[in-house]
Amino acid sequence: MKKKYEWFLSLLLLCGLLTGCGALGAAEKVPTSPGPVVVERGERATEETEVEETEAELQKEELVIGAAPERTPVQVKGIYISAYVAGTASMVDNLIAELDRTEANALVIDIKDDFGRVVCEMNSPLIDELGSTKVYISDIQGLMQKLKEHDIYAIARIPAFRDAWLGETRPDWCIKLSDGSVFKDRDGNAWVNPYKREAWDYLVEIGKQAGALGFDEIQFDYVRFCTEKGMQDAAFDEADTEGKSRTDIILEFMEYAYQALKEEGLFVSADVFGAIINSDVNANSVGQIYGEMAKHLDYISPMIYPSHYADGNYGIEHPDMQPYETICAALNDSRKELYFAGLDGSHIATVRPWLQDFTASWLANHIEYGGPEVRAQIQATYDTGYDEWLLWDASCKYAWDGLLTPEAAEAEKARIAESRAALPETTYALETAAATEESSGESQADGAVLEAEPAAASPEAQVQ
């Protein structure tokens, strides 16, 4: 009996050994560590992600996770339109017809108007919480689709720190007087306190939402302090300012907004006073330093309307009556200042000036602006080495006869390139720049109009 039992145990052991060897052979075919995980660009890897490529295949190209969307620049020649116009299909169709037949290829559209209202529905809890929305563009998706069909570059204009709506809903974000009341300009509009960083997130949120709707670029306007006399009574809390100047905080905001929106694949631009070019006095008042702001933008748009320069500015008797000479003088100063700003190797924004397409009838010495005057300003832009421009008219009625056909514009582009190639490389001697700053800079400080940033009484009134 004992022998039978020993024989049975021996047989059982032999079977176990044979089974174990077979299992070991199978185990060699099972990976001891997870295989390479293939992740599409911008996606996160998960445990459920399927293995689709070998390690050798993965080595063929660099894997980039969460990369910012690629941005393809467009050479812009554009016009401004209000939210009211953008929300009126017949007006948009008429404008698109003009863009199709001329060299113009871009629209600057209010996505937040001059009174602080967001002009279309957006998917944003923050905007909903503030109740900012007042719909002027009811079919924003249809509008954006139409612009893309006609290859029109879409720029979302966001007036930043002038905001009547926030004066009512978030007075704690706004500039206040020494008695604690909200400061209001002569038109009754409150101004956001640029030192209130929580307001920065709100502005960036509007920009991100505009990008989600299909806009290519975010353009900030009123990126400054109010310059009216009443500002002398404004009180700023030291806990907010932290010892920083007006120019310091505007630059910080610009850098913050630029980085946040650039990561969304959007281009970023800003409108600035033409008077700040080569003028420390005006720059400190408004909070804008031209050369430094250009380091935190893709495009910088100086508002160099001839009507905004006082008689005698740049040595021109009546600037509004000499549009070509005035634009040339302003943009030559721009070129000099940005040349020096970029000597440290910094990125410098492309200059895309705002040009005048309205008649400044309030001036004693003015001329009627039409096609020839618009073309003279565009020519001055090209002759000073710049290629992009924007036209402003609050009524959104433009002198289309001042623009070329697409074919003529291409021929003009070739001619300009040829003429520029024949010119010697431009450099600026330090003593020349210093002399220019002393003469034209002081002249601007005394003569340029800081308060006159174009705006309209209401979106509807802009087209009356």
- Taking only the tens place, the pLDDT of each residue in 259-313 is 999 999 999 999 999 999 988 878 888 999 999 999 999 999 999 999 999 999 9
Tell me the mean pLDDT in the region 330-350: 96
Specify if 14 maps to a domain. Answer: no
Residues 92-115 have a mean pLDDT of 98
pLDDT at 450: 53
| pLDDT at 150 > cutoff 70 | yes
Q: In the chain, how many domains are there? A: 2
Q: Which two tokens stand for residue 353?
A: 């000036």
Among 23-32, 224-233, 296-305, 410-419, the minimum mean pLDDT is found in: 23-32
Tokens 């006609």 appear where? Answer: 150
Residue 17 inside a domain? The answer is: no
- Lookup result for tokens 């990008």: 211
Q: Are residues 367 and 400 in the same domain?
A: yes
Condensed to tens digits (0 to 9), the pLDDT of residues 177-233 reads 999 999 999 999 999 999 999 999 999 999 999 999 999 999 999 999 999 988 999
Q: Does any domain span residue 256? A: yes
Task: Name the residue with higher pLDDT: 441 or 179.
Answer: 179
Residues 202 and 341 in one domain: yes
Q: Is 148 part of any domain?
A: yes
Q: How much is the average pLDDT of 363-386?
A: 97
Which whole number is the average pLDDT over 409-431? 75
Q: Specify whether 351 is located in the same domain as 374.
A: yes
Phi, psi dihedrals of residue 176, rounded to the nearest 5°? -125, 160
Same structural domain, 258 and 339 = yes
Q: Is the pLDDT of residue 80 over 90?
A: yes
Where on the phi/psi map is residue 287: left (φ > 0), alpha (ψ -120 to 50), or beta?
Answer: left
Both 122 and 233 in one domain: the answer is yes
Its domain, for residue 148, covers: 79-463
One domain for residues 318 and 447 = yes
Q: Do both 40 and 173 map to the same domain?
A: no
To the nearest 10°, the Cα dihedral for 174, 131, 258, 144?
-140
Residues 177, 272, single domain; the answer is: yes
- For residue 377, being part of any structural domain is answered with yes
**Residue type for position 37:** V
Residue 204: closest CA among 140, 269, 270, 160: 160
How high is the pLDDT of residue 426? 61
d(CA 423, CA 431): 22
Same domain, 173 and 310: yes
- Assess if residue 290 is contained within a domain: yes
CATH of residue 298: 3.20.20.80
Q: What average pLDDT does this structure show over 321-326?
A: 98
Residue 423 and residue 333 share a domain: yes
- Tell me, what's the pLDDT at 433? 45
Q: Is 216 exposed, middle or buried (0-12, 13-18, 19+ CB in 10 A)?
A: buried
% of the chain beyond a pLDDT of 70: 77
* Structure-token match 């001055």, residue found: 380
**Are residues 283 and 420 both part of a single domain?**
yes
Residue 71 counted as domain residue: no
Domain contains 18: no
Residues 51 and 115 in one domain: no
Domain-terminating residue out of 66, 98, 124: 66
Other CB atoms within 10 A of residue 203 CB = 24
Res 63 pLDDT > 80:
no
The reported pTM is 0.81
